[in-house]
Amino acid sequence: MAADRSELRLSDAERQEALDALSEHVRTGRLELTEFDERSVQVSGAKFRKDLKPLFADLPEPRPSVLGDLSRHDGGVARAGRASPAPAPVQPWRQRLASAVVPAAAVLAIALFFVTRAGFFVFLIPAAAALLAGMIVGRR
């Protein structure tokens, strides 16, 4: 029989993750500062994973990962299948090209600096490549 994960004690890292999630909710305007203060005191004093559940019951993502563990269990009994991680999003060709151009331009600039002795102006090449790559991707 699987152990009830809600009865496991929280680590400092898990408490910090919960505080970070609460901070994000303040930043996006879902929580007021007074609510954040109250909930953060409760997070700091939480001993068990189940203690965090009511603090995030009315909030969407982000949530601490330990709450994800609790939601994958029914009554303390683990479900048969493990959730597979979501596949990495495929980058569009423009983004892949842009991410390859900037390092290549930096290597080219270093090589030109030592071979041609053109001065420090060759280091404008990677800067220009970064600007061009940003325009290609659609970001300014």
Which string of DSSP letters, residue by residue, matches 33-100? HHHHHHHHHHHHH--BGGGTHHHHTT--S---HHHHHHHTEETTEE-SSPPPPPPPPPPPHHHHHHHH
Q: Is residue 86 part of a domain?
A: no
Domain end point (choices 77, 107, 126): 77
Query: What would the two tokens of residue 128 be?
Result: 């220009």
Q: Is residue 67 part of a domain?
A: yes
pLDDT of amino acid 44 = 87
State the amino acid at position 119 in one-letter form. G
In a shared domain, residues 61 and 105: no
In a shared domain, residues 70 and 12: yes
Please, which pLDDT band fits residue 76 given cuts at 50, 70 and 90? very low
Q: Is residue 104 part of a domain?
A: yes
| Contacts of range 122-126, beta carbons closer than 8 Å, 24 or more positions apart | 126/102
In a shared domain, residues 28 and 73: yes
pLDDT of amino acid 109 = 85
Q: Residue 71's domain spans which residues?
A: 5-77
- Average confidence (pLDDT) over 60-82: 60
pLDDT of amino acid 111 = 86
Q: Is residue 88 part of a domain?
A: no
- Average confidence (pLDDT) over 22-42: 87
- Average confidence (pLDDT) over 30-57: 87
b/e code 55-84 from CB counts within 10 Å (16+ = b) = bbeeeeebbbebbeebeeeeeeeeeeeeee
Please, which pLDDT band fits residue 123 given cuts at 50, 70 and 90? confident
In a shared domain, residues 12 and 70: yes
Q: Is residue 82 part of a domain?
A: no
Measured in degrees and rounded to the nearest 5, phi and psi for residue 48 equal -120, 155
Q: Is residue 18 part of a domain?
A: yes
Task: In whole angstroms, give the CA distance from residue 42 to residue 52.
Answer: 8
Q: Is residue 62 part of a domain?
A: yes
In a shared domain, residues 9 and 71: yes
How many structural domains are present in the chain?
2
In a shared domain, residues 106 and 43: no
By CB atoms closer than 10 A (0-12, 13-18, 19+), residue 25 is buried
